[in-house]
């Protein structure tokens, strides 16, 4: 009974319910954090046998990666170089194209055009990457060979270009969201000063959306660094310490699938190398994400 | 202030405006005099902003809007609403200050220089001079001169609004439109902007929307009372506030509006 004297009394049931809900939510958040830590822990733990045989210094400075040969070398740099080159080629495609598409969709396209282009773009991101890989290998490479006859059948250029196409929708959709979040009254201010649409887009909207656009680029980089199938299929899988995109090479991720799918015995040094490679990949992605986080903090929009 | 001193700068002639099918302005005719302040008053939703935004063709930014009638700009004697007129050219001569301060995501300096850069003026000496002049005229120079490279968002609300005024001044407009420029500001910032307006009207013609009757009475030379998209009464401010011809106007001004 709620008599006037007890209507303000503490209601334990309400607070117990709150606690249970809170615990459930915490558990969900905790799971994803725990999984991340577990992955890192396993990578570190499984890499230890390798680093007992190979010093960290050798791992970082040796210019050959031949862990499966009799004359084994354990220098990660060829794989890092392959990853960097394919990523750079991909970004050279994805960043300009993605940004231009985002500007068009956000500032120029009519509602109708935007609504019909966006699903098609998103489809690009939904194509399985192995399909892109074969597209690069049996379509783009022969096309490039017509221009550059000396180009080898497996090469980083073709893989990088196709990877760039794959990443375009990631860059464009996140950039477009960021640009559309720039409030209309800021745009109106620019138009009222007598600027054209293009001036408004490039001088006001893009700077205003900078942190979101930076986040889009970082997302694109992370995608490119981790991409596996396209490079595994089209770039060849020979570790090759070169920065020349016309040559074949292996990337960190393509090396990992190559070994993981092979029949190396568990516990052999060759097998353990994939964990060290995985750890390297994870650290690289982490660095890009930290840069991205820092950029978007530094240039955060304040409206 | 006698009729002889006044020069016509622009006039709305039988102006109507439609948002889609909805007629938001109904056959408004109104003169705008050079070096005078004209105030637009009326209850919320009566079409003050809509009317103001016809002058720099802001409505062109959105689809399905259309104008009827004319806004004639003098001395050209050209209807700025005509299809043959480039809205960008109109906006280069008629600048606008919005209700909510809307600085660009740039430095203080670049905000003021924006209109000049858009016009292709990039010479540093000219920009420096114009930026200083505009900030001085907007009564912001003293506060801003040591932090011109700071992001404009770091200014206070009142300072941001003065920055927006400086930005609009830097392009030497012929007409300046103010849409409730002080509604987001405190009384001190408001007073400084009102003071400013008094100085600015010696240079061009001003059209200002305000909800504040005292403000209209203080800053304007002429006042127009709008109601439901119609111009109810237009006259010298003194006359409107002391002896309006229409009952509706009197009711609105005295706060007896139902
Ligand atoms: N974008 C728009 N689309 C459709 N109708 C609109 C639009 N903007 C305004 N209106 C309508 O036009 C009429 C006039 O609006 P307007 O914004 O000009 O009023 P106002 O006098 O400036 O009001 P306030 O004092 O509240 O700012 C209102 O009925 C409003 O609902
Ligand atoms: Mg309004």
Q: Is the distance from the beta carbon of residue B142 to the nearest atom of ligand 1 less than 6 Å?
A: no
SS3 B123: coil
* CA of B87 vs chain A CAs: smallest distance (Å): 8
B92 contacts A301? CB cut-off 8 A: no
Q: Give the class (CATH, top level) of A77-298.
A: mainly alpha
**Residues B215-258 pLDDT 10s:** 999 999 999 999 999 999 999 999 999 999 999 899 998 887 65
Q: Which residues of A4-39 are buried (b: 16+ CB within 10 A; e: fewer)?
A: eeeeeeeeeeeeeeeeeeeeeeeeeeeeeeeeeeee
B49 Cα–ligand 2 center, Å:
4
Residue of B61, B100, B114 with shortest CB distance to A193:
B114
Question: Going by C-beta distance under 8 Å and a sequence separation of 6 or more, which residues neighbour residue A167?
Answer: A90, A91, A93, A94, A98, A220, A223, A224
Is residue B205 a contact partner of residue B216, using CB atoms and an 8 Å limit?
Answer: no
Q: What is the pLDDT of residue A4?
A: 62
Residue A9 has pLDDT above 80, yes or no: yes
Q: Are A87 and A287 in contact (CB under 8 A)?
A: no
Instruction: Considering every ligand atom shown, identify the ligand nearest to the alpha carbon of residue B22 and give its number.
Output: 1
**A204 closest CB neighbour out of B61, B92, B104:** B104
> Which residue range(s) make up the domain with B9?
4-253
Omega prior to B75 cis, within 30 of 0: yes
Supply the pLDDT for residue A3.
Answer: 64
CB-nearest to A193 from B95, B106, B153 is B95
Given CB atoms, is A75 within the 8 Å cutoff of chain B? no
Q: Is A194 on the interface with B (CB under 8 A)?
A: yes
Neighbours of ion ligand 2 (CB under 5 A): B 49
Alpha carbon of B171: minimum distance to chain A alpha carbons (Å): 8
| Residue A104 in tokens | 């068009």
Q: Predicted confidence band at B185 (pLDDT cuts at 50, 70, 90)? A: confident
Nearest residue by C-alpha to atom 19 in ligand 1: B45
Read off the pLDDT of each residue in B193-214 and give the average, rounded to a whole number.
91
> pLDDT value at position A259?
85
Alpha carbon B95 to chain centroid, angstroms: 7
pTM of the model: 0.85
Q: pLDDT confidence of B1, banded at 50, 70, 90?
A: very low
Contact check, Cβ <8 Å, B104/A207: yes
Give the β-pairing of B65-73 and B37-41: unpaired
pLDDT for A20-33, tens place per residue?
A: 999 999 999 999 99
Chain A residues inside the 8 Å CB shell of B117: 203
For residue B224, the distance in angstroms to the closest alpha carbon of chain A comes to: 23
Whether residue A186 and residue B102 make contact (CB cut-off 8 A), yes or no, is: yes
Number of domains in chain B: 1
Domain map (residue ranges) of chain A: 4-53, 77-298
Q: How far is the CA of A219 from the centre of ligand 2 (A)?
A: 41
How far is the C-alpha of B101 from the C-alpha of A186, rounded, in Å?
A: 9
Q: Which residue has the tokens 């941001």?
A: B160
- pLDDT bin (cut points 50, 70, 90) of residue A117 is very high
Ligand 2 midpoint to CA B174 (Å): 22
Q: What is the rounded distance in angstroms from the CA atom of residue A272 to the CA atom of residue B217? A: 83
Distance from CA of B218 to the nearest CA of A (A): 27
- Span A204-232, pLDDT tens digits: 999 999 888 998 999 899 999 998 899 99
CATH number of the domain within which B89 lies: 3.40.50.300
Domain membership of residue B258 (yes or no) is: no
> What's the ipTM?
0.92
B177 CA distance to ligand 2 centroid (A)? 12
pLDDT band at A1 (very low <50, low <70, confident <90, very high): low
């Amino acid at each position: 009974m709620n008599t006037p004297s007890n209507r303000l009394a503490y209601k334990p049931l309400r607070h117990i319910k709150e606690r249970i809900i809170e615990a459930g939510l915490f558990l969900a958040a905790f799971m994803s954090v725990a999984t991340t830590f577990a992955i890192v822990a396993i990578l570190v733990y499984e890499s230890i046998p390798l680093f007992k045989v190979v010093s960290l210094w050798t791992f970082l400075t040796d210019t050959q990666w031949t862990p499966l040969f009799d004359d084994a070398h354990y220098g990660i740099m060829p794989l890092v170089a392959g990853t960097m080159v394919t990523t750079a080629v991909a970004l050279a495609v994805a960043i300009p194209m993605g940004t231009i598409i985002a500007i068009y969709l956000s500032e120029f396209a009519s509602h109708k055009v935007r609504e019909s282009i966006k699903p098609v773009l998103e489809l690009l991101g939904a194509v399985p990457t192995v399909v892109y890989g074969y597209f690069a290998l049996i379509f783009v490479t022969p096309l490039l060979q017509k221009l550059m006859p000396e180009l080898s059948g497996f090469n980083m250029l073709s893989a990088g270009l196709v990877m760039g196409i794959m990443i375009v929708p990631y860059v464009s959709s996140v950039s477009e969201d960021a640009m559309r979040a720039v409030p209309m009254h800021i745009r109106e201010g620019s138009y009222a000063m007598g600027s054209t649409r293009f001036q408004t887009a490039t001088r006001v909207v893009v700077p205003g959306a900078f942190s979101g656009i930076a986040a889009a680029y970082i997302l694109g980089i992370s995608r490119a660094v981790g991409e596996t199938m396209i490079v595994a299929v089209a770039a060849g899988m020979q570790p090759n310490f070169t920065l020349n995109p016309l040559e074949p090479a292996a990337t960190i991720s393509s090396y990992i699938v190559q070994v993981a799918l092979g029949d190396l015995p568990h516990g052999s040094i060759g097998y353990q190398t994939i964990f060290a490679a995985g750890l390297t990949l994870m650290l690289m992605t982490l660095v890009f994400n930290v840069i991205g986080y820092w950029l978007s903090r530094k240039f955060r929009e304040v409206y | 202030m006698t009729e002889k001193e006044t020069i016509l700068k622009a006039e709305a002639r039988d102006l109507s405006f439609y948002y889609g099918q909805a007629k938001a302005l109904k056959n408004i005719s109104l003169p705008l005099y050079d070096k005078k302040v004209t105030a637009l008053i009326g209850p919320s939703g009566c079409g003050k902003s809509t009317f103001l935004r016809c002058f720099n063709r802001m409505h062109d930014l959105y689809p399905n809007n259309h104008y009827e009638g004319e806004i004639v700009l003098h001395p050209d004697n050209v209807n700025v609403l005509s299809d043959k007129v480039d809205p960008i050219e109109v906006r280069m001569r008629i600048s606008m200050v919005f209700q909510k301060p809307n600085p660009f995501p740039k430095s203080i300096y670049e905000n003021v220089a924006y209109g000049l850069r858009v016009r292709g003026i990039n010479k540093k000496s000219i920009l420096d001079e114009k930026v200083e002049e505009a900030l001085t005229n907007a009564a912001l120079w003293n506060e801003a001169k040591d932090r011109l490279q700071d992001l404009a968002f770091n200014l206070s609300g009142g300072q941001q609004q003065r920055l927006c005024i400086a930005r609009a001044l830097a392009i030497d407009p012929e007409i300046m439109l103010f849409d409730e420029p002080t509604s987001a500001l405190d009384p001190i910032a408001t007073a400084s902007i009102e003071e400013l307006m008094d100085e600015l009207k010696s240079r061009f013609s001003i059209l200002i929307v305000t909800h504040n009757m005292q403000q209209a009475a203080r800053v304007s030379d002429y006042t127009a009372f709008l109601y439901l998209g119609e111009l109810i009464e237009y006259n010298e401010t003194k006359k409107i506030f002391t002896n309006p011809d229409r009952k509706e106007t009197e009711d609105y001004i005295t706060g007896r509006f139902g």
